[in-house]
């Protein structure tokens, strides 16, 4: 059965339908230039008209979200790249730490930071103040050896390595040395000669073994009375040697291969003593370059000449350099001290004696200059104490110290 749509009721003239194309054609070619705001655009739209009329309507349009153009995107990308590059350049030249240098208080995770430790000071010799490569040397027992200085005994052996050397007249104007050792061990020392009482006063403060060949009756008695560690050749002949190159009594020699063994047998393993106050070398413009000490006759009185290169005083006697027999090296102590003290003679007028206790004036030569001071010694077994003109401890250079006894202040002369 066919159904037919009933005819539409007409209430007036029919209005033609608005074509979509008509709206499109009516929209302006460009949107308003303000973005993000609602703008009213007036569009002329063909209204439902009859053959004789037209109508205008206001159409309100809200534009879509604003779009970024391709040009602006390109500008943003280029700007971002420039910022990154500029930042990299700034970091490289201004902020990056130097190569192989760690920032303060920081370290790579794989690096273990070590705590800084102050270097351990090297041990020094209690006798001379010099640095030691072996700490055991500072614990060795001190040993003193009597060494002759007659013309027949020259040149001597072992004085070069001595830490302290004492010089005084033994008899008949002939001087003699007491060489004191601790951290050095020369293998050849001599000629060794006999003991005298005042040399005991020099060695007693060191709690040392005392090597000698007999001695005066008073000296031998005092060795027992003072408790000196006796190493007398008379009773220990196997530890000394009589050489054939020289005739007696100038031919007795020893060395520390023998003296160490003798000390060990005697039980002299250590020495307790007070050393001199030491200081580093401080070379000065020389004011005491040549030093002369009038101890005895010219054959025995020494001269010391300052050597700036080694900061030592090279020793001569009898007008010739005083050399070591084996090495041919000239003796050159770091410090030369002239002690002014009273000298006397035994009733025979041949053997001398010295005042070693009490106090007196002294001259200290080191660093090319001279310093005046005072020596003090309480008793025979006490150590010498040296003070400067301000009564402060007189500090001595580390190294060999040569101590000579003179009688008068006029016995000490020096010149630049």
Please tell me whether residue 411 adopts helix, strand or coil conformation.
helix
State which of 221, 242, 266 marks the end of a domain. 266
Total of domains in the chain: 3
SS3 state at 223: helix
Same domain, yes or no, for 298 and 404?
A: yes
- Look at residue 302 in the predicted model and tell me its pLDDT: 98
Final residue belonging to a domain, choices 246, 266, 286 = 266
pLDDT in tens, 50-102: 444 444 444 344 444 455 566 677 777 767 777 766 666 666 565 555 555 44
186 domain-assigned: yes
Burial (CB count within 10 angstroms: exposed 0-12, middle 13-18, buried 19+), residue 246: middle
pLDDT score, position 128? 98
Confidence at residue 118, expressed as pLDDT on a 0 to 100 scale: 74
Write the DSSP assignment of 74-122 as a string of letters. HHHHHHHHHHHHHHHHHIIIIISPPTT-PPTT---TT-PPPPP-PPPPP
Nearest to 218, CA basis, from 191, 198, 204, 233 = 198
Whether residue 399 lies inside any domain: the answer is yes
> Structural domain of residue 187, as residue ranges?
138-266
Question: Which residues of the chain are modeled with pLDDT < 50?
Answer: 1-65, 101-104
Q: Are residues 309 and 360 in the same domain?
A: yes
Q: Indicate whether 284 belongs to any domain.
A: yes
The per-residue pLDDT for range 386-400, each reduced to its tens digit, is: 999 999 999 999 999
- Look-up: residue for tokens 């009733």? 347
Residue 84 inside a domain? The answer is yes
Nearest CA among 185, 145, 155 for reference residue 330: 155
Q: Does 261 share its domain with 284? A: no
What SS3 state is found at 231? strand
What SS3 class is residue 73? helix
**pLDDT value of position 1:** 43
On whether residue 110 sits in a domain, the answer given is no
In a domain, 113, yes or no: no
| Assigned domain for 133 exists | no
Instruction: State whether 223 and 145 are in the same domain.
Output: yes
Alpha carbon distance 376, 361 (integer Å): 9
Q: Which of 70, 88, 106 is the last residue of a domain?
A: 88
Q: Indicate whether 165 and 262 sit together in one domain.
A: yes
* 156 and 71 belong to one structural domain: no
* Same domain (yes/no): 54, 170: no
Retrieve residue 165's tokens.
Answer: 């050397």
Q: Is residue 173 part of a domain?
A: yes
- The CATH number for 203's domain is 3.50.90.10
Q: What is the pLDDT at residue 120? A: 78
Q: What is the pLDDT of residues 105-114, one digit of tens each?
A: 555 556 566 6
Retrieve residue 366's tokens: 């080191």
């Amino acid at each position: 059965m066919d159904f037919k749509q009933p005819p539409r009721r007409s209430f007036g003239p029919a209005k033609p339908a608005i074509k979509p194309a008509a709206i499109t054609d009516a929209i302006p070619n460009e949107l308003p230039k303000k973005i993000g705001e609602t703008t009213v655009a007036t569009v002329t739209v063909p209204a439902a008209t009859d053959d004789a009329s037209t109508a205008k309507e206001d159409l309100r349009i809200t534009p879509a979200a604003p779009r970024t153009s391709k040009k602006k995107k390109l500008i943003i990308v280029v700007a971002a790249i420039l910022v990154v590059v500029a930042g990299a350049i700034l970091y490289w030249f201004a902020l990056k730490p130097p190569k192989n240098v760690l920032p303060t208080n920081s370290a790579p995770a794989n690096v273990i930071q070590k705590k800084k430790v102050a270097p351990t000071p090297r041990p020094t010799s209690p006798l001379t103040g010099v640095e030691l490569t072996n700490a055991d040397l500072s614990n060795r027992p001190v040993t003193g050896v009597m060494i002759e200085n007659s013309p027949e005994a020259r040149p001597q052996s072992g004085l070069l390595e001595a830490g302290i050397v004492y010089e005084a007249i033994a008899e008949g104007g002939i001087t003699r040395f007491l060489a004191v050792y601790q951290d050095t061990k020369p293998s050849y020392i001599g000629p060794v000669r006999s003991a005298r009482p005042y040399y005991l006063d020099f060695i007693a403060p060191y709690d040392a073994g005392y090597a000698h060949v007999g001695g005066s009756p008073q000296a031998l008695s005092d060795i027992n009375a003072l408790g000196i560690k006796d190493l007398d050749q008379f009773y220990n002949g196997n530890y000394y040697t009589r050489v054939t190159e020289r005739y007696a009594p100038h031919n007795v020699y020893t060395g520390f291969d023998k003296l160490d063994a003798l000390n060990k047998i005697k039980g002299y393993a250590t020495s307790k003593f007070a050393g001199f106050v030491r200081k580093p070398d401080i070379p000065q413009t020389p004011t005491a370059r040549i030093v002369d000490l009038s101890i005895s006759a010219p054959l025995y009185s020494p001269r010391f000449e300052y050597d700036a290169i080694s900061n030592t005083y090279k020793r001569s006697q009898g007008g010739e350099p005083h050399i070591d027999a084996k090495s041919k090296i000239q003796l050159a102590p770091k410090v030369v001290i002239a002690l002014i003290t009273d000298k006397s003679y035994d009733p025979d007028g041949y053997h001398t004696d010295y005042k070693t206790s009490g106090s007196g004036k002294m001259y200290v030569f080191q660093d090319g200059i001279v310093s005046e001071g005072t020596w003090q010694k309480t008793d025979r077994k006490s150590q010498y104490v040296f003070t400067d003109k301000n009564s402060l401890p007189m500090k001595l250079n580390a190294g060999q110290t040569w101590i000579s006894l003179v009688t008068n202040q006029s016995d000490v002369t020096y010149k630049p």
